[in-house]
Amino acid sequence: MKTVLTIAGSDSSGGAGIQADLKTMISHGVYGMSAITALTAQNTLGVTDVLESTPEFLAAQLDAVFTDIYPDAVKIGMVSSAPLIKVIADKLNEYDVPLVVVDPVMVATSGSALMESDATETLKQELLPIATVLTPNIAEAEALSGLKIKTHDDMVAAAKHIGDTYHCAVLCKGGHRQTDANDVLYHEGKVHWFESERVDNPNAHGTGCTLASAIASNLAKDFDLITSIERAKAYLTDALRAGLDLGKGSGPLDHGFDIHSKYSEMNNQDLT
């Protein structure tokens, strides 16, 4: 079985972060592992508290994973401070990880800040150069490129700017656009669009985490980058279309829409 490690924050409501990552990985038939950068007290309405891991404890988690079950791919999500980013970069270099998806999580869908402002520079210098692919949403692509994004051409310009500066592939996600949900990849000097109509579902908590974990799972299974993104976007769109409606705010996706087993068919009546 292929193995994938997520390095990210825990979301107590289960829709984003580590929980979304592990659910996505099991749906892709890969073995998921986690190194937790922070605990968030969070639900579909927002984040009420954050407890960061210490850099030493994050390093210990990474050593424990890498010296035992070596991951075929790594997904990085919420990393809120510069010292934690530095630990991750050092460990990924030490263990020589080939496939790294970096989701530069800065602000949650609910509007809560998830990264300290002075950590952005460390992210740029330390993590972007070792990313196989970086997956900013529009606001994150603006912050990383310094460019304003309004049109499809602006998305391409920002992806090019980031990719050429930090030497990584960049997928600029259009999930926050009004008219479509088209994402654009800039990779090895070429531009590739992944087009999708918007799914009419206000429950979009954790879409970014889910897409990045699905890309990492597909890369671990030896699909090339474009195929990995195509498959990941199809999974994300189907998980949105499944129409789960939980919580009082922007609720989670149905990560398990595609998993059929004898256990998922059991209901309470079967148990009596």
Kindly list the residues in this chain that would bind ligand HMH in the complex (CB under 6 A).
Answer: 8-9, 11, 16-17, 40, 42, 77-78, 105, 108-109, 114, 206, 208-209
Min separation Cβ 160 and ligand HMH, Å: 25
Catalog residues that contact ligand ATP under the rule CB under 6 A.
Answer: 16, 109, 137, 173-176, 181, 183, 196, 198-199, 201, 204, 206-209, 211, 233, 236-237, 240
Q: How far is CA 86 from CA 101, 203, 204, in A?
A: 16, 33, 30
Nearer to ligand HMH, 113 or 266 (CB): 113
Q: Which is nearer to ligand ATP, 91 or 187 (CB)?
A: 187
Kindly state the tokens that stand for 270: 């079967």
Q: What is the closest distance, in whole angstroms, from the C-beta atom of residue 134 to ligand HMH in the complex?
A: 15
Shortest Å distance, C-beta 232 to ligand HMH: 15
Nearest residue (CB) to ligand ATP, 86 versus 124: 124
In the complex with ligand ATP, which residue's Cβ is closer, 91 or 177? 177
Identity of the residue, 129 or 243, whose beta carbon is nearer to ligand ATP in the bound complex: 243
Please, what is the minimum distance in Å from the beta carbon of residue 171 to ligand ATP?
Answer: 8
How many CA atoms lie less than 13 Å away from 64 in the CB half-sphere? Answer: 11
Helix residue spans in 96-145 (DSSP H): 119-122, 138-145
Neighbours of 170 (CB within 10 A): 29
Q: Under 8 Å CB-to-CB from 12, ≥6 apart: which residues? A: 39, 40, 41, 42, 43
The listed partner (ligand HMH, ligand ATP, none) that binds 17, CB under 5 to 8 Å by sort, is: ligand HMH
**8 A C-beta contact, residue 69 and residue 44:** no
DSSP character at residue 252: B
H or E element that contains 74: strand 73-76
Q: Which helix (H) or strand (E) holds 52?
A: strand 46-52
Of all helices (H) and strands (E), which one includes residue 95? helix 82-95
The least distance separating ligand ATP from the CB of residue 89, rounded to whole angstroms, comes to 21
Helix (H) or strand (E) holding 96: none
Task: Give the DSSP letter of residue 221.
Answer: T
Please choose which of ligand HMH, ligand ATP, none residue 77 contacts, taking the beta carbon within 5 to 8 angstroms, the exact cut-off set by kind: ligand HMH
- Which of ligand HMH, ligand ATP, none is residue 181 near (CB under 5 to 8 Å by kind)? ligand ATP
